[in-house]
Amino acid sequence: MAYMLVFLLLPYFNRLAGKNLEIDFFLRYQTILTIFSVSLLAGVLAGIYPAFFLSSFNTIKVLKGSSLTERSQRSPLRSSLIVFQFVVSIALIIATIIVSQQLSYMQNKKLGYDKDELLFLPDARLLGNNQEAFRQQVMQDSRVALSSISRSVPGGDIMDGTEVYPRNENSNGTEIHANISHVDYDYLRTLGIKLLRGRNFSKEFATDSSSGIIVNEAAVRQLGWTVDNAVGKTIIRSGQQQLTVIGVVADFNYASVKQEVAPMMLMLGNNWGGFIIKTKTSDVKGFLADLQRKWAAFNPPGPMEFRFFDQTFASLYASEQKTQQIFSVFTILAIIIASLGLFGLSAFVIRQRAKEIGIRKVLGASVRQVFLIVSKEFLILVAIAFVISVPISWWAMTTWLQGFAYRITIDAGVFLIAGATVIVVTLLTISFQSIKAAVANPVKSLRTE
């Protein structure tokens, strides 16, 4: 049955885990021998305890009808296994909730630029010297709001870097590393990046293309300046080139939200090879078809490749999405396994307490009272599991969140949701057996040996 499930679920597993396992792997004799050996070992270990437990009874006492029930009711191992199962279940529920919250936080965090309706053509270099002519044609389309020629885009991996330090400043004078985005005059407007101080690049200033730069807030802080006094300052690049700050932009996440925003310089020139389009249409399919025709008219040596910024943004968190999906799957499996164990234990305990329940019924106990009496024992086990699981889960997820520069704060609500979920699952699992025992004819219970 397990192998049948493997054959059925392997394609889904490959998609979930991003792997490419072949079914042939599970048909190798080494794999079959390993799985068989582990299964056999598990069966032997599972059978050792009841075998030794039963063989330890005094034969005469057992034949007289004593000690078996009394000792089996006080089995700490059985309760410990149930507690362990629920510790794992609660921990996985907590982990799943926290991973989901962190993923949602990153996906909805304000990035400092507008990623919606932004289209990027990474291979615009194939147009050669026709890149500007292609842009002019694109801008004639009423479905296009803005455009920019740049190969440096948020979420991309094409970016330069350099060492810079302030010139003749009373600041700390520390040399810092700054990333460089090569842009054009319309880059800030196209991406919706907020200019805090100074001005944008302009064709009216010839020096902008040679020595003018725009920096972000992170660069301002590390250079020892403030946003208010940074414009007009001079920095030295690589120990030789002098650059003048003409503007300061708000920090924007040009990399993953997992990383803190690093110092950034925007420079004119050396930006050919990429093309950004800000669209304003709901007919995306029709627009792309027309855009491809415009592309083909220039007869470039390759097809028009494109991607939307929101798709690029989503791909930055593919690993977190997989983590969330994997936790969700294992949480469901853990809850099912724990529920199976709890169902078996509840049936066993209720069978042992049949006479007690019968006596309580004769003395006037209601179905609700019997259900609460039976449920109390199992809810205590869940409470113990909750107490053990919470600090372990808190420590593990706090450690995991340390890998994110921008992260959520774990609140008590997460643990309360996990605890409430397990309580509901517990009550649903034992309700059938409990209610069945509570509504049974007490005469039959009292006459049962």
The region of weakest confidence among 141-155, 264-278, 305-319, 380-394 is 305-319
Residue 147 binned pLDDT confidence (cut-offs 50, 70, 90): very high
Residue 132 pLDDT > 60, yes or no? Answer: yes
Strand pairing of 307-308 and 144-149? Answer: unpaired
**Paired tokens of 239:** 């120990």
Residue 202 pLDDT > 90, yes or no? Answer: yes
- Report helix, strand and coil shares of the chain as percent, to nearest 5: 55, 15, 30
Residue 6 pLDDT > 70, yes or no? Answer: yes
Q: At what angle do helices 76-108 and 318-352 cross, to 10 degrees?
A: 150
* Structure confidence by residue, pLDDT tens digits, 283-303: 888 999 999 999 999 999 999
pLDDT of residue 168: 67
Average of pLDDT values for 46-68? Answer: 67
334-340 long-range contacts (CB < 8 A, ≥24 apart) are: 334/85, 334/88, 334/89, 334/92, 335/89, 335/93, 335/422, 335/425, 337/85, 338/82, 338/85, 338/86, 338/88, 338/89, 338/425, 339/425, 339/429
Residue 109 pLDDT > 70, yes or no? Answer: yes
In what side-by-side order are the strands of the sheet with 275-279?
A: 144-149, 275-279, 118-121, 307-308
How many CB atoms sit inside 10 A of residue 394's CB?
16
pLDDT of residue 157: 65
For residue 282, what are the CA distances in angstroms to 218, 243, 279? 36, 42, 9
pLDDT of residue 158: 63
Residue 172 binned pLDDT confidence (cut-offs 50, 70, 90): low
pLDDT of residue 443: 65
* Structure confidence by residue, pLDDT tens digits, 298-351: 999 999 998 888 777 766 677 777 888 888 888 888 888 888 888 888 887 777
Residue 243 binned pLDDT confidence (cut-offs 50, 70, 90): very high
Rounded Cα distance between 152 and 159, Å, is 6
Rounded Cα distance between 85 and 337, Å, is 8
How many CB atoms sit inside 10 A of residue 142's CB?
7
